[in-house]
Amino acid sequence: MTVEASALSLRQLLPLSLEERAKLIMAHGAMDLARSVHTLEQDGLTVPKDLQERIAWAVAWNIDAGGSKLAEDTALRRVRDYRHQWSLDTTWEKVWRELTAPLEGSKTGPNRMLLDELALSVLCEQREEWQPEASRPLDLGLADDALDFVYKRDNGKVIGFLRKKFRNWTDELEELAQEAWEGIIKRYWSTESRRRFLGLSKISSLVCTAAENKGKDILRKQKRQGKQVSLEQSGSHPGEESGTPLSELIGVEIDPGEQIMMEELRQRLDECMQALSPHQQIVAQLIWLQERPAKSVAEQLRVSEPAISQRVKKARESLRACLEHHGYRMFDR
């Protein structure tokens, strides 16, 4: 007998494998999943053919955070998956109804729903082991494009929100927003991500909350110190790089006094730089060699500062791997 997801509770879905859950979700919500993919296409994004399956897989993963065992006290304080948002006796039909309910007051277009935000988040993801095997390897170019899209779409909302929350701050708000974006990218969308976006809010709301928390931390610090501390004074410069030598930025273990070895290193660095992707080469040249601020580079290339930070990070990782292959020892930065 064929089982339908709508007839099952979260308690009954938990023992099933990710593959089994994803198939049930695909069958139950095929039309809604297709509509979310179509919404992304209407927004001008290029989406892979298997995005519906990837969204269903992510939803299945979100039921119990991929089978993770959370401490009870942690579960009570934070919602990390659907089993801590709804009771285990909640039917899947009710969960799906909330994920696909029209968003009230949305200015991003007609008939938008939380599932659309989850779909966009899935497109931003760069962690391959979170995806169905058939979806690997991911097209990281599409992920970068999705990241740029969500940043351009929502950053204005984040800045506007911060202006209301922190009325005495002016130029610092942009830096605060950038820090929040970088934190969200690292937590939910980078190769180092530990959590998945649950689709229980708009992405902009998630970033606004992160930015507000960072702002409150700064205010608490000011209160403890008994003086005003700006974001600039606190040392917060998201995405900026210093004038440090490239070899030191990458983390090459070498004695600067050894002139012959340094010359050889420079030649190897040139070779490794040529092996970078075009996007990474451009960013590496502008950030490291021309010592341009990340904000200026982002404006020139018409991408977000978080995207620039991600490309710098990937370029550094690629250069380190290339130099290690040639026998250089690296240290952690």
For the stretch 232-273, pLDDT in tens is 444 333 333 334 567 667 777 655 444 556 667 778 888 888
Spatial separation of the C-alpha atoms in residues 203 and 146, rounded to whole Å = 12
Is 98 in contact with 88 (CB distance < 8 Å)?
no
- Where helices occur in the chain by DSSP H, the ranges are 10-13, 18-28, 30-42, 51-62, 72-77, 92-99, 114-124, 140-165, 172-184, 203-225, 246-250, 259-274, 278-284, 294-301, 305-325
Half-sphere exposure of 160 (CA within 13 A, CB side): 7
Q: What is the mean pLDDT of residues 179-202?
A: 91
Spatial separation of the C-alpha atoms in residues 218 and 309, rounded to whole Å = 23
Provide the whole-model pTM: 0.70
Spatial separation of the C-alpha atoms in residues 313 and 290, rounded to whole Å = 17
Spatial separation of the C-alpha atoms in residues 316 and 79, rounded to whole Å = 34
9 backbone dihedrals φ, ψ, rounded to 5°: -95, 170
For 74-115, write each residue's pLDDT tens digit: 333 456 899 988 999 999 999 999 999 988 655 545 579 999
pLDDT at site 74 = 39
For residue 246, give both structure tokens.
């490239």
For 107-166, write each residue's pLDDT tens digit: 545 579 999 999 999 999 999 999 999 999 999 999 999 999 999 999 999 999 999 999
From residue 131, alpha-carbon distances to 29, 99, 138, 171 in Å are 19, 20, 8, 39
CATH 1.20.140.160 residue ranges for the chain: 246-325
Number of neighbours of residue 126 by Cβ within 10 angstroms:
19
Q: Average per-residue pLDDT in the chain?
A: 83
Class of 246-325 per CATH?
Answer: mainly alpha
Contacts of 135 (CB under 8 A, 6+ apart): 48, 50, 53, 54
For residue 68, give both structure tokens.
């993770």
Contacts of 225 (CB under 8 A, 6+ apart): none
